Structure 1
């Protein structure tokens, strides 16, 4: 198996040259990144996290290439590179699974939130209806109590006046005994006083009766006005509800526009990152063109020096 995994010397030499070129490219990229960090300090924590992540990934790739180069020089195999590729594929599959589970959880959370919002709206409608019914019942009870108290007051006064008038009308007077003339005059004056009192009682009875009828008519008119105001309020509420239903689609359209705008900004950000990566690669190519061909003997001497160290 070891002989089968081993590769030829020419292929190993070409592969080693490619690995050394890749290591040099990574060094150039690291130097460019350090230069950017020195002269373009990131004010945003997100950018700093991205830079740290890129530096860690570059260190990982450099470590894998170095281990592969050492294995290739010592044993003539590229098992370290295969293992690292296998681990990266495994981590990528795990990331995809995590993203899928995250999307499923987000979808479930959105469904639950919509159900909770519907339940809350239904509960608020029920509470509003109950409060409206309670207020109507309270108003009816207050009106009935006021009407009954007023009617009882009028009835008591009317009964009192009627009883006094009937008492005065049906009072039995004893026949006066024979007396002197002045006693007769006194009795006549008393009778006149009683008659005046009876007339006053009857007048007060008629006054309270007319006032009762007038107050009942005023109360009925007031009740009619209140009913008309209530009808106007109900009509106004229905108009407002229709207006809300009419503009509900516009509000939803605004929310969808916000979501689409955030998605468009994310796409633009991804395209910008890809463009920066391409620019960095092209800068590395231009640097290699300026520096000229690679001196493999010097690189080999440096590699041997590192191995000996």
Structure 2
């Protein structure tokens, strides 16, 4: 909430703000023009900036050469440090220069901002007697500075992260260099092992060839022996096959005879099945007839049961109504008795009706006093 100012305090504050606005206007008139001072500032800074830029370019070239040549990590780190030093020197020169056009423009913008805020506040004080615009301008400026502070913090964090990544890059390069040396040594060792394996392979080839020839000779002998065994087995199987044929014929004759017997039994069982089916069909018809009769009797009994149930329900309803009427009459009788008792008690207590008290006769003493 904005405070309200009136009276002498309003005049004091207004005079102070008017004085500040006048001083800022005078300061704006006496400040050098940024466009006119730009050439002078560039001439002053050109020598320092050119020198620092030359150092920066030289450091970049050294770093690029060191990376392409894959030298040790010390040279790369030295080139990186030199590059950072040149960058810091350039930033310092640009930041500390009082003749920089950017600094003059910033001062001019700050002066204009202050003049605008004070003039708005003065107008609000003169019109309403409050300074809400000043608070709003301060809040906006605080938010802007907070955003700038966040940007600066993020930039610093980015620089720290870049430095950490550069250190990590140097460590990775050292590791890669060591790994490359180890791989070269391993390649030489593997070449020696390959030569040894070639010699060993030639010896093994000769040994395998001699073993293969022996195995072929042994296999031929085994095959001849197996052929003789197979011929004997073929003769034995032919004898068994003849015996199987004889057994098959006997089995076929036995099965035909058994089939005829089964056909006779099948005819007998078919006839018996038909006869049993007829008997069971007759029993089923009788059961159906009994079922229909029982169902009719059951329906008659159910009808009688429903009628009896309806009569019982009606009787119960009549009895319930009668009971309710009796209970209601009893309640009305009790209520009437209570009302009569209350009324009699009230008449007796208040001496109404036949219970009214008789008027007392006037005393003789009061009469005598009046005659005197």
TM-score, reference length from structure 1: 0.39
Q: Which has the higher contact order (CA 8 A, sep 6+)?
A: 1
